[in-house]
């Protein structure tokens, strides 16, 4: 093993040199430098010979690990590429078939830009326009533009059918595809367009918190590109409505609304009038001879949500208990999912009142209603709901000083989160990567005092998931950095703590610039550390 081995040295330099260059191309500079440094050291030992060459094989361990990991990454990359190529080919062919099937006169009309309110149903009218055409110089750029057009069409069709799940899946697939192929996210207008499209899809389907996050990300990335001026302005107008609910409610709330139409007021965030109409709807349903129990339970659940936004704990508790009373009789038709959500919200209500004993009881009842194994294709969503309940229970146990029970909840939750990450590594869809990373960060925060050795692996796992999901640009990644900064503070590493707080501050400035309290908190912590 101590002899010179120039062939091994040359082969290693060629293989790892390409690998390091590939990582530089992807913008992974730290790992690229580490790989090249190890390769050069190993090759130098083999070229030098003597006793030092005996240590060269030990340096191959991390290099082989990187090779295997990059092999899996490349496999997933080309698998996604092949799947997208087949979808884009089918989409392009369908577009050509549509153009060929219409008369020449109609083809000219169809080629002209059509207002969204005419071309698509009103529910899809907020989707941004396509990127302006640019000279075809790069096949990858053309492919990205075609992917955006395909996603827009599929999302518009799904929203027209009220198929919310498909619309969300199309937007998420587009963001993942473009994020994986963007060397520098800040310099890619297609990725910015994908975030804008995803945010507007969330906005159209009423998921306003998620819409705000994605729209802010899209505006931040797209502001630098002149070709995205129109969709960026459109996104800014949506953000303005989200920041000032009364502006949207003034336009949406009309005297013609009937009691059963209160969800329109929920979308415009006019919570006070929505609660009044919702309770009128409940009263009308209860006055009927044969009330539809699942429908009545759904209205009670909506009333709990509206009361939560208003901060009206009394009405929230009243409607929650009414829903559970509907489910109490033997053979009641109230769906299990509604009962579980009501128990969760009642538990959250008790937790906000610091009645942790009652909160734990509600969470335990909700936990008994989650059936992961018997849920078929919905197993991942059920498992995520189970994890959310375990997270809440762990928090309540910790507040009661029951550290052992809290630790059991976290350890059980970690098993499910590990299975989610394995699904993600295998190329399957992970349910809500941001929520999964947030749970890992909360577990790490708990582990600072009770399992210090687990903190760093948990934070790394949370960041790894966010890196694959959105290249690390998320509030979940910021939360992970904050937790690790707290861990470093507990161990007296002030300089490293400031470094991680700065990373968290940058992500919050990008992903949630309106949260002035959080921004000020981070800036104060950085100044105090200095």
Read off the pLDDT of each residue in 356-383 and give the average, rounded to a whole number.
80
- What gap in Å lies between CA 157 and CA 165, rounded to an integer? 12
Quick check: 122 pLDDT over 60? no
- What gap in Å lies between CA 142 and CA 19, rounded to an integer? 27
Confidence label for 427 from pLDDT (cuts 50, 70 and 90) = low
pLDDT at position 74, please? 73
Quick check: 134 pLDDT over 50? no
Higher pLDDT, 290 or 153: 153
Quick check: 40 pLDDT over 60? yes
Quick check: 455 pLDDT over 80? yes
Q: What percent of the chain has pLDDT over 90?
A: 17
Task: List the domains of the chain with CATH numbers.
Answer: 6-97 (no CATH), 117-243 (1.25.40), 263-354 (no CATH), 410-530 (1.25.40.10)
Confidence label for 16 from pLDDT (cuts 50, 70 and 90) = low
Read off the pLDDT of each residue in 475-487 and give the average, rounded to a whole number.
92
Q: Is the dihedral of CA 56, 57, 61, 64 positive or negative?
A: positive
In order of 176, 179, 183, 239, the CA distances from 469 in angstroms are 6, 8, 15, 23
pLDDT at position 185, please? 72
- What gap in Å lies between CA 36 and CA 14, rounded to an integer? 11
- Annotate 386-455 with DSSP letters as a single string: HHHHHHHHHHHHHHTT-HHHHHHHHHHHHHHHHHHHHHHHTTPPPS-HHHHHHHHHHHHHHHHHH-HHHH
Most confident of 43-52, 107-116, 364-373, 502-511: 502-511
Most confident of 140-144, 148-152, 329-333, 394-398: 394-398
Higher pLDDT, 48 or 227: 227
Q: What pLDDT, in 10s, does the model give residues 169-222?
A: 888 888 888 887 776 777 788 888 888 888 888 888 878 788 888 888 888 888
Quick check: 237 pLDDT over 90? no
pLDDT at position 8, please? 62
pLDDT at position 257, please? 46
Higher pLDDT, 31 or 468: 468
Most confident of 39-43, 256-260, 294-298, 423-427: 294-298
Q: What percent of the chain has pLDDT over 70?
A: 78
- Annotate 473-503 with DSSP letters as a single string: -SHHHHHHHHHHHHHHHHTT-HHHHHHHHHH
Q: What pLDDT, in 10s, does the model give residues 290-348?
A: 567 888 888 899 999 999 988 899 999 999 999 888 887 766 678 888 898 899 999 99
Q: What pLDDT, in 10s, does the model give residues 74-105?
A: 777 788 788 888 888 888 877 777 666 655 44
Check: CB of residue 360 under 8 Å from CB of residue 351: no
Most confident of 20-24, 253-257, 386-390: 386-390
Average pLDDT, the chain: 78
Confidence label for 133 from pLDDT (cuts 50, 70 and 90) = very low
Confidence label for 443 from pLDDT (cuts 50, 70 and 90) = very high
Quick check: 479 pLDDT over 90? yes
The pTM is what? Answer: 0.58
Most confident of 46-60, 135-149, 314-328: 314-328
Higher pLDDT, 3 or 254: 3
In order of 51, 58, 139, 395, the CA distances from 46 in angstroms are 10, 12, 42, 55
Tell me which of 117-121, 277-281, 364-368 is least confident: 117-121
Check: CB of residue 274 under 8 Å from CB of residue 306: yes
Tell me which of 101-110, 153-162, 513-522 is least confident: 101-110
Higher pLDDT, 136 or 409: 409
Rounded to the nearest 5 percent, the helix, strand and coil shares of the chain are 80, 0, 20
């Amino acid at each position: 093993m101590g002899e010179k081995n120039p062939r091994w040295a040359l082969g290693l330099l060629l293989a790892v040199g390409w690998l390091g260059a590939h990582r530089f191309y992807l913008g992974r500079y730290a790992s690229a430098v580490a790989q090249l440094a190890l390769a050069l050291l190993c090759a130098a030992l083999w070229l030098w010979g003597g006793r030092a060459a005996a240590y060269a094989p030990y340096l191959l361990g991390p290099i082989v690990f990187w090779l295997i990991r990059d092999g899996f990454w490349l496999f997933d990359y080309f698998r996604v590429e092949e799947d997208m190529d087949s979808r884009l080919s089918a989409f392009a062919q369908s577009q050509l078939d549509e153009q060929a099937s219409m008369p020449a006169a109609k083809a000219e009309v169809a080629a002209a830009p059509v207002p969204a309110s005419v071309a698509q149903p009103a529910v899809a009218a907020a989707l941004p326009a396509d990127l302006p055409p640019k000279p075809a110089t790069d096949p990858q750029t053309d492919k990205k533009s075609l992917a955006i057009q395909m996603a827009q069409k599929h999302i518009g069709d799904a929203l027209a059918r009220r198929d919310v799940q498909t619309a969300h899946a199309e937007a998420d697939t587009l963001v993942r595809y473009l994020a994986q192929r963007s060397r520098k996210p800040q310099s890619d207008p297609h990725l910015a367009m994908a975030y804008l499209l995803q945010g507007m899809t969330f906005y159209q389907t009423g998921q306003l918190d998620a819409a705000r996050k994605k729209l802010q990300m899209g505006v931040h990335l797209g502001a630098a590109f002149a070709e995205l001026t129109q969709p960026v302005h459109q996104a800014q107008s949506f953000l303005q409505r989200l920041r000032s609910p009364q502006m949207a409610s003034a336009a949406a709330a009309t005297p013609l609304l009937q009691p059963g139409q209160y969800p329109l007021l929920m979308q415009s965030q006019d919570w006070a009038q929505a609660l009044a109409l919702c309770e009128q709807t409940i009263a009308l349903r209860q006055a009927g001879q044969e009330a539809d129990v699942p429908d009545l339970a759904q209205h009670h659940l909506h009333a709990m949500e509206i009361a939560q936004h208003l901060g009206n704990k009394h009405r929230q508790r009243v409607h929650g208990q009414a829903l559970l009373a509907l489910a109490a009789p033997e053979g009641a038709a109230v769906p299990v999912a509604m009962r579980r959500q009501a128990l969760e919200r009642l538990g959250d209500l008790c937790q906000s009142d610091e009645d942790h004993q009652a909160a734990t009881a509600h969470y335990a009842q909700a936990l008994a209603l989650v059936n992961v194994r018997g849920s078929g294709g919905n197993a991942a969503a059920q498992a995520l709901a189970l994890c959310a309940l375990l997270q809440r229970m762990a928090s309540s146990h910790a507040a009661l000083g029951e550290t052992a029970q809290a630790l059991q909840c976290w350890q059980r939750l970690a098993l499910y989160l590990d299975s989610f990450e394995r699904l993600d590594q295998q190329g399957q869809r992970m349910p809500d990567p941001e929520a999964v990373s947030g749970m890992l960060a909360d577990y790490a925060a708990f582990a600072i005092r009770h399992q210090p050795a687990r903190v760093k692996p948990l934070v790394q796992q949370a960041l790894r998931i966010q890196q694959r999901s959105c290249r690390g640009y998320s509030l979940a990644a910021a939360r992970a950095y904050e937790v690790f900064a707290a861990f470093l503070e507990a161990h007296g590493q002030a300089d490293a703590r400031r470094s991680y707080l700065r990373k968290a501050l940058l992500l919050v400035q990008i992903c949630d610039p309106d949260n002035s309290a959080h921004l000020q908190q981070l800036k104060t912590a950085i100044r105090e550390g200095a």
